[in-house]
Amino acid sequence: MAHPDEHRQALTDGARGLLARGVITADEWLELCDLVTGAYSFAIEQRAAELFHQASTYDVFDSSWRKVGTATRGVLLFAGADWPLLIRHGDDGHLQAFSGTGFNFLAGTLQGLELTMENGRRFALVEVGRYLRGGVYVEAITDPDDFLLVLHAAAAAREDGDLARARHLLQRARVSPFRVCPTCRANFATLDECTRCAGLGFIRVTV
């Protein structure tokens, strides 16, 4: 694969070309660039709790990165447990895990994708897939090259005038652990020297 910088440059150049030729509108151009330069992800990052999606499926890992459970559509089940945990917003607006025993007591709190139980034990949730609108299940894109390929495909679909496919691919790209780099904010002025993301403009967020 080419260096990530070349990918990003090709993507932004490609999007700019589409706009210049009138293939896409300014709004669509912005939407496309958002995925590359991270403005969309910036908003997501501002709301860390919303890293968790009710429509997603997660593997649950303990602090040694052993898989100890799964969560699907807001229901988390530890292997061997009799009762699930229900993940939903508590009274204070934060995402919390409640015991699904019927008594509904607070079992833990979710920050980003880290679940801290009331007894102090911590678990990490890693997204493996998501149900999109319409009920279609898609697997999370966990490989950065695949992520960029989907962005390329979205740009190509736009160029072909297949906006439905482009929109689907952009929606698809959002089911991934990639977020804008918090150090350089994918800013062109500082991106190339950024050691955190190695000039890519985005990082992998797992917890």
Binding window for Zn ion (CB under 5 A); candidates: 40-48, 93-101, 149-157, 189-197: 189-197
Q: Which of 150, 151, 155, 181 binds Zn ion (CB under 5 A)?
A: 181
Give how far Cα 1 sits from Cα of 6, 7, 29, 65, 194, Å: 10, 9, 25, 29, 20
Which residue intervals of the chain are DSSP H helices?
4-20, 26-37, 39-46, 144-159, 163-173, 188-191
Binding mask 140-179 for Zn ion (x = CB under 5 A): ----------------------------------------
Q: Which of 15, 157, 197, 205 binds Zn ion (CB under 5 A)?
A: 197
Give CA angle at 54 (95, 130), nearest 5°: 140
22: nearest Cα among 162, 123, 182, 158: 158
CB nearer to Zn ion: give 9 or 54: 9
Rounded Cα gap, residues 174 and 169, in angstroms = 9
In the bound complex, what is the minimum distance in angstroms from residue 38's beta carbon to Zn ion?
A: 9
CB nearer to Zn ion: give 4 or 74: 4
* Cα separation of the two ends of the chain: 27
The interface with Zn ion within residues 38-77 (CB under 5 A) comprises none
In the bound complex, what is the minimum distance in angstroms from residue 29's beta carbon to Zn ion?
A: 23
Which residue intervals of 38-160 are DSSP H helices?
39-46, 144-159
Q: Which of 183, 187, 204, 206 binds Zn ion (CB under 5 A)?
A: 183
In the bound complex, what is the minimum distance in angstroms from residue 192's beta carbon to Zn ion?
A: 9
The verdict on 180 binding Zn ion (CB under 5 A) reads no
Q: What is the phi/psi pair of residue 21, to 5°?
A: -90, 0
The verdict on 184 binding Zn ion (CB under 5 A) reads yes
Pairing of strands 106-111, 114-117: antiparallel
In the bound complex, what is the minimum distance in angstroms from residue 189's beta carbon to Zn ion?
A: 12
CB nearer to Zn ion: give 84 or 199: 199
CB nearer to Zn ion: give 140 or 184: 184
Rounded Cα gap, residues 207 and 197, in angstroms = 16
Binding window for Zn ion (CB under 5 A); candidates: 25-33, 47-55, 69-77, 182-190: 182-190
Q: Which residues contact 148 (CB under 8 A, 6 or more apart)?
A: 4, 7, 8, 11
The binding site for Zn ion (CB under 5 A) comprises: 181, 183-184, 194, 196-197
